């Protein structure tokens, strides 16, 4: 079975500062990795994903994540955050070939001016 750990339940940061949201996973088989974002009172939106190939994946709004197989991590980073990045961020894993997403407990990113 797969599992995901997001150690930080909340990350406060000032606007324009860099941020890293940590995600570690556990699996005995190969996996796909995802980051989803949930804005207040909204559904989840896919931010970025790793399926195969380059271990560094990027989103259109400046986030990036790096798949590190040896450390079983998929940390999310942004070099300079905006107030509008305030949201809940969920890391998720699925076993390759299966469609079942297993989510972490989420990290609330709070960006203040």
> Using CB under 8 A as the criterion, which residues of the chain lie in contact with another protein when the complex forms?
32, 34, 36, 38, 42-46, 49, 51-52, 88, 90, 94, 99-103, 105-106
Find the shortest distance in angstroms from Cβ 40 to another protein: 11
Strand stretches in 2-86, DSSP E = 3-5, 10-14, 19-21, 24-26, 31-38, 44-50, 56-58, 64-68, 73-78
Find the shortest distance in angstroms from Cβ 85 to another protein: 17
Find the shortest distance in angstroms from Cβ 95 to another protein: 11
The pair of structure tokens assigned to 63 is: 């986030």
């Amino acid at each position: 079975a797969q599992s995901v750990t997001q150690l930080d339940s909340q990350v406060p940061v000032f606007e324009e500062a860099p941020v890293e949201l940590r995600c570690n996973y556990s699996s005995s088989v190969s996996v796909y990795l995802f980051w989803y974002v949930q804005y207040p009172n909204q559904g989840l939106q896919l931010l970025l994903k790793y399926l195969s190939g380059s271990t560094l994946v990027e989103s259109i709004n400046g986030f990036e994540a790096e798949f590190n197989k040896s450390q079983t991590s998929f940390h999310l980073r942004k070099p300079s955050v905006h107030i509008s990045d305030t949201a809940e961020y969920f890391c998720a894993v699925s076993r390759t070939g299966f469609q079942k997403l297993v989510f972490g407990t989420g990290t609330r990113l709070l960006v203040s001016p």
